[in-house]
Amino acid sequence: MSILKYIRRDIRLIKERDPAARSAIEILLTYPSLKAIRCYRISHWFYKREFYTVARMISQYARKKTGIEIHPGAKIGKGLFIDHGMGVVIGETAVVGDNCLLYQGVTLGGTGKDKGKRHPTLGNNVLVGSGAKVLGPFRVGNNVKIAANAVVLSEIPDNCTAVGVPAKIVRMNGKRVCNVTNEIDQIHVPDPVEQEICHLKVEMEKMKSEIKKLGEKK
């Protein structure tokens, strides 16, 4: 597919997915997502032909202009939309499937200096909330939703919702794994760390009560 066809398709998808988008001209001139992905397509073309320095120069130009850093070696499918986009980082061996949505501050990164595959693979129709970090060479399945500020360190199966640090699955195939209030409300999501602290507090109160009863019997 030519660059022009990619741009037309991406403009159409942005208009469908962003209620703030008013016209194709506005999207073309002002949306950082469109600029970053357009530059990525060009840099990836050079990268595949082993013009690595040229590819990196283009990607760094896009980074300065948009605040979005996509390594030219990454593999990105059709229909990616990066909403707002500032601070998004997509690593060299990352793979992003079709029709994915990334919010600002998302990192698709590695966890070390190993060679080879070291960044995550996202399936199709994946939503990654603002500030979330997906770190490591594992797969995130199709139709997965990752809440804002989650830190994903291991594989997530298809059709799941994950929240927290480290991320835990709270919904699978439309069914709750634990109590959640909304399917992918980026604000009102349970914090697994806070839940664990509450659990420990309850256990401590039980222990205090048991100790008090033992003292009264003596």
Encoded tokens for 212: 């008090």
* pLDDT for res 183: 45
Q: What is the pTM of this model?
A: 0.75
Rounded to whole angstroms, how far apart are CA atoms 194 and 210?
25
Rounded to whole angstroms, how far apart are CA atoms 145 and 180?
13
Mean pLDDT to the nearest integer, 42-47: 95
* pLDDT for res 18: 81
Mean pLDDT to the nearest integer, 69-92: 93
pLDDT band at 121 (very low <50, low <70, confident <90, very high): very high
Q: Please answer whether residues 140 and 134 qualify as being in contact, where contact means their C-beta atoms are separated by less than 8 angstroms.
A: yes
Mean pLDDT to the nearest integer, 58-74: 95
Q: Is the model's pLDDT at 214 over the cut of 90?
A: no
* pLDDT for res 178: 54
Backbone angles phi, psi at 64, to 5 degrees: -65, -35
What domains are there in the chain, each with its CATH number?
1-72 (1.10.3130.10), 74-189 (2.160.10.10)
In what side-by-side order are the strands of the sheet with 127-128? 81-82, 101-102, 127-128, 145-146, 160-163, 168-172, 175-176
What is the Cα 11 distance to its own chain's centre?
21
Core vs surface per residue 20-58: b (16+ CB within 10 A) or e? ebeeeeebbeebbbbbbbbbbbbbbebbeeeeeebbbeb
pLDDT tens track for 129-180: 999 999 999 999 999 999 999 999 999 999 999 998 889 998 888 777 754 4
Q: Is the model's pLDDT at 193 over the cut of 70?
A: no
Encoded tokens for 136: 């490591």
Query: Would you tell me the crossing angle of helices 32-48 and 52-66 to the nearest 10 degrees?
Result: 170
* pLDDT for res 179: 47
Lowest mean pLDDT among 26-30, 144-148, 160-164, 212-216: 212-216
pLDDT band at 85 (very low <50, low <70, confident <90, very high): confident
* pLDDT for res 184: 46
